[in-house]
């Protein structure tokens, strides 16, 4: 049982960890890349700082808006499915009981036990039983648009705050190496935490995130240099 509990806890971690890590990674990579691209164009330190603030604000709002719209669409779909299920329960209660019974039989119960479980769950909460076992909707997995939007915005802002602080503490001459170093170090730490929480191998996770992030920063630095003005 302890092993089973550990596995279930790790799976539960992945549910909240994935969007949090992705949001923070996006905040670090996009803001650091933006800052490095602007700095490589020989912009003033003030302009670089403004670009970091703008990147954090725009990115957080974009993440919140996108997540809200996406999750709200999911919530609408769930609501429509539940309304359809209520109609089916009113029209054919016995048929819906047999449908639930068939689900439990596919999960390994024999027919008499499956029917008994279906009948008892239907008597207790018919729509809840069908929502959970037929539609895969539960109070824990139900779509929450505002919560998702706030979570995405906050995780992005937390990540974007790292290159922003690096810019604020730097000078015009060392802003690029300081931002790049702080971003890659933070990404490596995030990759390590995510891998350990999910019981995955740490090194491949760290190498993957730092390689592609470094490439993104290098590309924007190249574009900034190409289209920049003389210092």
Residue 27 above 90 pLDDT? yes
Task: Find, among 123, 125, 104, 131, the residue nearest to 115 by Cα.
Answer: 104
* Residue 14 binned pLDDT confidence (cut-offs 50, 70, 90): very low
| More confidently predicted of 74 and 118 | 118
Question: 10 Å Cβ neighbour count for 48?
Answer: 24
DSSP labels, 53-112: HHHHHHHHHHHHHHHHHHHHHHHHHHHHHHHHHHHHHHH-HHHHHHHHHHHHHHTT--HH
* Length of the chain measured in residues: 231
Q: Which of 14-23, 167-176, 189-198 has the lowest mean pLDDT?
A: 14-23
Measure Cα distances from 207 to 17, 55, 61, 201 in Å. 19, 25, 29, 11
pLDDT of residue 7: 42
3-state secondary structure of 137: coil
pLDDT digits (tens, 9 = 90+) for 51-82: 999 999 999 999 999 888 888 888 888 888 88
- Round to whole Å and give the CA distance between 220 and 22: 20
Residues 6+ apart with CB under 8 A from 229: 41, 42
Residues 6+ apart with CB under 8 A from 142: 75, 78
pLDDT of residue 141: 59
Residue 163 above 80 pLDDT? yes
- Round to whole Å and give the CA distance between 170 and 110: 69
Residue 140 above 70 pLDDT? no
pLDDT of residue 34: 96
- Round to whole Å and give the CA distance between 26 and 158: 10
- Round to whole Å and give the CA distance between 52 and 195: 28
Using a pLDDT cut of 70, give the percent of the chain over it. 87
- Tokens for 97? 């009981």
- Tokens for 90? 């009113």
Using a pLDDT cut of 90, give the percent of the chain over it. 41
pLDDT of residue 214: 94
Give the mean pLDDT of the chain. Answer: 85
- Model-level pTM? 0.72
């Amino acid at each position: 049982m302890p092993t089973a509990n550990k596995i279930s806890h790790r799976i539960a971690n992945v549910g909240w960890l994935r969007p949090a890590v992705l949001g923070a990674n996006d905040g670090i990579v996009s803001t650091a890349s933006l800052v490095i691209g602007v700095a490589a164009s020989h912009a003033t330190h003030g302009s670089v700082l403004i670009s970091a603030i703008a990147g954090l604000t725009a990115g957080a709002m974009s993440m919140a808006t996108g997540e809200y719209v996406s999750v709200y669409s999911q919530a609408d779909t769930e609501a429509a499915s539940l309304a359809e299920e209520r109609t089916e329960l009113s029209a054919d209660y016995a048929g819906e009981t047999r449908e639930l019974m068939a689900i439990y039989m596919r999960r390994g119960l024999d027919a008499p036990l499956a029917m008994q479980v279906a009948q008892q769950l239907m008597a207790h909460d018919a729509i809840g039983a069908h929502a959970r076992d037929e539609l895969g909707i539960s109070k824990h997995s139900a779509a929450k648009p505002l919560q998702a939007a706030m979570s995405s915005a906050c995780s992005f802002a937390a990540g974007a705050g790292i290159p922003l602080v690096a810019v604020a503490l730097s000078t015009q001459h060392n802003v690029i190496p300081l931002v790049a170093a702080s971003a890659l170090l933070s990404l490596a730490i995030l990759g390590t935490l995510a891998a350990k929480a999910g019981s995955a191998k740490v090194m491949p996770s760290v190498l993957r995130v730092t390689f592609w992030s470094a490439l993104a920063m290098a590309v924007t630095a190249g574009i900034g240099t190409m289209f920049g003005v003389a210092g």
